[in-house]
């Protein structure tokens, strides 16, 4: 076997071994996890989920570096590796690789079809979630959120179209916004081609993807483009001001202050742009009257918790139909943990059920 092929095989075996070992660790009995995790963590009136604390302890014991401590290309590889370990291989009816228009050229995209629809006729129409991945606007891609998209597809029984927008630092603000808005408009205009009901298209994403989804929903309402629902999972909503939760949970709970600082440094050229509503929806002057209903999920031990909840309250005060759900014992990033453990997977299942109820109202 040629040397490069041998190296690839060995890397594959190592990855499978690591995944097997991680699954085994996450399957340990709860009392064992508690002993390894240490004393319960109680902060801001909340108790950190045992399983989550155990994962953080494993990260510490294994000296797993934070992505923000690595060069950008290595950080991207680390994020992908971590997501694939935590996400596992989730079954789904069908996956199609697509190319959709972006603001500055074509973008890779991926369409997920649930098993219930994989054999339906070409004329059938389904709800669709336009999904925007997180990663601090500098990490993440279609593969880093593949497991989460598969899980949402099957549990919510909707098609999911994920888009791979341009990342910083190669592409600064507002490149990501422009890509997501251009791609979303294309999806709305080509609903029939995608087998999608144009009146049941939602937009959603996690973290930075939640921010971009919130912007897309606002722009859709302003432009009269159909948008039935917005699914905002621990979204970034205010990059100009530091909330209390950013200060309280900025160390020790996966998402660090160093990560968010680096993300903003990579994304912006001008500090003043942080107050642009296209960067921080918290500075939106007027909420459109026809803005889509929103589901906002936050995590109790997440630095982004307070700003996500403040945005939910702002929408509700302006007459938007909003459901706010805090998962008090969880941390940032739980959307990607659907392949191991119970508590984080259960939270994502609850989010999927909300999406299903919104896009399948007759069920």
The structure tokens listed for 222 are 């302003």
**Bond before 174 cis per omega within 30 degrees:** yes
Catalytic residue selected from 207, 243, 245, 280: 207
Query: Can you tell me the distance from the alpha carbon of 284 to that of 112, in angstroms, rounded to the nearest whole number?
Result: 33
The interaxial angle of helices 343-359 and 50-61, nearest 10 deg, is 120
Q: How many CA atoms lie within 13 A of 158 on its CB side?
A: 30
Catalytic residue list contains 213: no
Tell me if 114 sits within 8 A of 162, measured CB to CB. no
Catalytic residue list contains 302: yes
Tokens 């690591």 belong to residue = 18
The interaxial angle of helices 72-87 and 3-26, nearest 10 deg, is 50
Neighbours of 65 (CB within 10 A): 12
Tell me if 334 sits within 8 A of 299, measured CB to CB. yes
Query: Can you tell me the distance from the alpha carbon of 260 to that of 234, in angstroms, rounded to the nearest whole number?
Result: 13
What sign results for the dihedral spanned by CA atoms 190, 196, 181, 319?
positive
- Beta bridge partner(s), residue 106: 101
Rg (CA), the chain: 20
What sign results for the dihedral spanned by CA atoms 260, 261, 264, 266?
negative
The structure tokens listed for 114 are 């649930």
Tell me if 25 sits within 8 A of 37, measured CB to CB. no
The structure tokens listed for 325 are 């759900």
Catalytic residue selected from 157, 179, 273, 302: 302
Query: Can you tell me the distance from the alpha carbon of 149 to that of 160, in angstroms, rounded to the nearest whole number?
Result: 7
Measured in whole angstroms, the distance separating CA 287 from the mean position of its chain's CA atoms is 23
Tell me if 156 sits within 8 A of 361, measured CB to CB. no
Catalytic residue list contains 207: yes
Q: Which residues are marked as active site?
A: 207, 302, 332
């Amino acid at each position: 076997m040629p040397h490069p092929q041998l190296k690839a095989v060995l890397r594959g075996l190592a990855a499978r071994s690591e995944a097997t070992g991680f699954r085994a660790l996450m399957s340990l009995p709860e009392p064992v996890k508690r002993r390894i995790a240490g004393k319960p963590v109680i902060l801001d009136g909340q108790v950190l989920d045992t399983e989550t604390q155990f994962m953080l302890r494993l990260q510490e014991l294994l000296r797993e570096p934070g992505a923000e401590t690595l060069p950008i290309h290595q950080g991207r590889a680390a994020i992908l590796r971590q997501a694939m370990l935590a996400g596992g291989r989730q079954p789904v009816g069908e996956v199609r690789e697509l190319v959709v228009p972006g603001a500055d050229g074509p973008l890779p995209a991926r369409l997920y079809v649930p098993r219930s629809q994989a054999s339906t006729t070409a004329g059938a129409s389904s709800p669709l979630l336009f999904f925007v991945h997180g990663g601090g606007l500098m990490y993440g891609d279609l593969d880093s959120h593949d497991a989460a998209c598969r899980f949402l597809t099957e549990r919510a029984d909707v098609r999911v179209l994920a888009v791979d927008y341009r990342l910083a630092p190669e592409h600064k603000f507002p490149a990501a916004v422009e890509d997501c808005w251009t791609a979303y408009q294309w999806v709305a205009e080509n609903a029939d081609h995608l087998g999608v009901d144009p009146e049941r298209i939602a937009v959603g994403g996690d973290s930075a993807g939640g921010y971009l989804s919130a912007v897309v929903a606002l722009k859709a309402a302003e432009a009269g483009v159909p948008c039935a629902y917005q699914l905002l999972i621990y979204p970034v909503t205010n990059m100009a001001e530091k909330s209390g939760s950013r200060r309280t949970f900025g160390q020790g709970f996966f998402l660090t202050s160093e990560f968010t600082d680096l993300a903003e440094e990579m994304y912006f050229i001008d500090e003043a742009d942080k107050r642009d509503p296209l960067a921080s929806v918290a500075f939106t002057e007027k909420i459109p009257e026809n803005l889509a209903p929103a589901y906002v999920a936050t995590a109790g031990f997440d630095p982004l918790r307070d700003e996500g909840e403040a945005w939910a309250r702002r929408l509700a005060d302006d007459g938007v139909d909003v459901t706010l759900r805090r998962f008090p014992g969880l941390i940032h990033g739980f959307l990607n943990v659907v392949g191991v453990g119970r508590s984080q997977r259960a939270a994502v299942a609850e989010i999927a059920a909300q999406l299903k109820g919104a896009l399948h109202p007759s069920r």
